[in-house]
A and B are shown apart, each in its own frame.
Chain A
Amino acid sequence: MNRLRVSQGAGVPYWRQIRDQIADQVRAGLLEPASPLPSVRQLAADLLVSVITVKKAYDELEGDGLVVSHQGRGTFVVERGAAASRTRLVRDVEEEIDRAVARASALGVSRSEIEAATRTSLARHYRRSP
C-alpha cells in the first residue's frame, strides 16, 4: 500500500480521508487483489488517529465492496473487484441455504414443508416471484 496521509486542516473527517485514499488505491490497482490491509491498530498508530477512526474507514470500504474482513485474520482487498465479491456473496448464500436444508432434512422436516417455507420467505423479501 502506498503511504497514506491525513490532515486536520482538510475539513474532511479522518475516516473519510482514509477510506478515499484506500479506495483510490484499490481502484487504481495499486493494492493487489486479495492483499491484506494493515491491521486497524497498526494503521491507527501509523497515522496518529484513533482506532475507531480506522475501523470506521474499513467498515465503509467493506460496505462499498472494496475490502472484506475476516474475523481474527484481518482485512483484505477483494479478489477481483466488485464482481468477485458478488460471486462470493452468492456462493455464501448458496452455502447458507444448503446448510439450512441439510439441517431441516436431518431433523425430519418434509420436502414440501421446506418448499412452502422457501416460498413464504421469497414472497416476504422479493416483490415479484423470481
Chain B
Amino acid sequence: MKPIELQGFTVVRGGFTLDIPRLEVEPGTVVGLVGRNGAGKTTLLETLVGLHAPSRGTVRVLGMDPIDDLVAVRQRTALMTDDMPVFALTAGALLRSLAPFYPTWDGALAADLLRRFEIDPRQAAGQMSKGEGTRLRLVLSLAFRPSLLLLDEPATGLDVPSRRRMLAEVLEVVKDPQRTVVVSSHQVNDVERIADRIVLLDRGRVLADGTPAQVCGEGRTLEDVLAGAAL
C-alpha cells in the first residue's frame, strides 16, 4: 500500500489552483518538496491530512481518504507546520495532552526526543523562541511514530546543530522501510542531502519529479535548479 496516491487531483483555494495529474510515493522514501513561495507545497501537505477537499480527483493517504477517514489518517500521519499553535501549556503538559489521541504514542521516545532536542518539559510552550518552538513541534510530530511524516519548513529558526539533529531524526524514521517522510524546506542543500526523490512545484504544478540526480542533472545542485527555474 502506497503512503500517498494522487490521481487527477485538483484543489482550488481562492484564486490558487494546485493541479497534480498523478503522484505516487513509495514507502521508505524521503521526498523533498521544493518550490518558491506560493508554489503549492503547504496546500499539498494540508490536503494530505484532510484540511482541504479536492475539487477533482482522488487522494489516498495510507490507503485511506483523508476526509472520510480523517481520524484514522491523522492518527498515523504527522503534519508539522511552521505555525502550529502550541498553547500556553508547558512542553510536558502539551505532550501529555496530545498523547491520548495517538494509539502509537511512545512516551519513552517523547522523553528521549525532548532530551535530544534540548527542550525542558517544564518550559512554557507559549514563551519559546522560534527555534525552541520548531524543536518542540518536531518532538510532537515524531513521538507517536507516524507512518507518514509531513514536515513543512522544519528548519525554521534552527541553528546548525539542531538542523543536523532534525535531519538525523528524519533518516531515523526511514530506517523503517514502511515509514515515509515528505519534507518541504527552503534549506535546499539539506533537502538534496537527505531526499531520495525531489518534487519541484511551481505555481500549482509539478515542474520536475525524480531522484535528485535526475532533477538536478550532472554537476548542478538543487539550488542551481531553483535559481534557474526563476519563473
A residues near B, CB below 8 A?
A: 8, 14, 41-42, 44-45, 48-52
The 5 closest A-B pairs by CB, nearest first: A45-B171, A52-B196, A41-B175, A48-B167, A50-B196
Contact, CB under 8 Å: B194 / A49: yes
The main secondary structure of chain A at its interface with chain B is helix
A44 vs B194: C-alpha distance when bound (angstroms): 8
Knowing A51-B28, A52-B211, the reply to whether A45 touches B196 (Cβ < 8 A) is: no
Among candidates B174, B193, B211, residue contacting A48 with C-beta atoms closer than 8 Å? B193
Give the interface residue-count category, chain B. Answer: 10 to 19
Contact, CB under 8 Å: B171 / A48: yes
Knowing A14-B193, A45-B175, the reply to whether A50 touches B167 (Cβ < 8 A) is: no
A41 vs B211: C-alpha distance when bound (angstroms): 17
Interface centre among A8, A14, A52 (most CB of B within 10 A): A52
Q: Which residue of A lies closest to B171 (CB)?
A: A45
Least Cβ–Cβ distance between B156 and chain A, in angstroms:
19
Q: Which residue of B lies closest to A8 (CB)?
A: B189
Interface readout for B202-220 with A: 1 if CB under 8 Å, 0 if not? 0000000001100000000
Contact, CB under 8 Å: A41 / B193: no
Contact, CB under 8 Å: B193 / A51: no
Among candidates B171, B197, B211, B212, residue contacting A44 with C-beta atoms closer than 8 Å? B171
Return chain A residues, CB-CB under 8 Å to B212. Answer: 50, 52
Q: Does B85 contact A (CB under 8 A)?
A: no
Knowing A8-B189, A45-B168, the reply to whether A50 touches B194 (Cβ < 8 A) is: yes
Return chain A residues, CB-CB under 8 Å to B29. Answer: 51
Contact, CB under 8 Å: B211 / A51: no
A105 vs B114: C-alpha distance when bound (angstroms): 66
| Interchain Cβ contacts under 8 Å between A and B, 9 examples | A8-B189, A41-B174, A45-B172, A48-B164, A48-B194, A50-B194, A51-B171, A52-B196, A52-B211
Q: Does B177 contact A (CB under 8 A)?
A: yes
Interface readout for B153-175 with A: 1 if CB under 8 Å, 0 if not? 00000000000100110011011
Return chain B residues, CB-CB under 8 Å to A45. Answer: 168, 171-172, 175
Contact, CB under 8 Å: B196 / A51: yes
Q: Does B30 contact A (CB under 8 A)?
A: yes
Contact, CB under 8 Å: B189 / A51: no
Return chain A residues, CB-CB under 8 Å to B196. Answer: 50-52
